[in-house]
Amino acid sequence: MYPESRRNLIDEQLQIVCNSLGVSLERQYLENGHDFDLNIRLPELPKPYGLGVHIGDDYLSWRLELTLDHYSGFILDKMQSTFQERKELFFSFEQLARSETTNFQSFSMAYR
């Protein structure tokens, strides 16, 4: 099972994100044997119409994987239009993350 101290640290960081975005997140810690340690979802987007984010906590990094529910096409369309509208803002966050860490793996340049 996941160490309680690490779980508390992750919960604290996720709560900071929730507070800054004004949203709530459902957290589900996964048992040993999964590729990921945690799954988070927006409760406002219930299955099968939403999405989740699997988080893998490696030694020095986190891995994220977006998982879509069966009927999440509307959300994908909305995400695409919002991304196109705010693309430059998104990439400014990428530049900030890159400047704050030496081991930042960039997003694909295909989206620029």
92-104 confidence digits (pLDDT tens): 777 777 777 766 6
Please check whether residue 31 is in contact with residue 2, taking contact to mean a CB–CB distance below 8 angstroms: no
CB atoms within 10 A of CB 38: 21
Q: Look at residue 10 and tell me whether its pLDDT is greater than 90.
A: no
Q: In this prediction, what percent of the chain has a pLDDT beyond 90?
A: 5
> Distance (Å, rounded) from C-alpha 9 to C-alpha 1?
15
Locate 100 and state its tokens: 């704050």
Q: Look at residue 14 and tell me whether its pLDDT is greater than 70.
A: yes
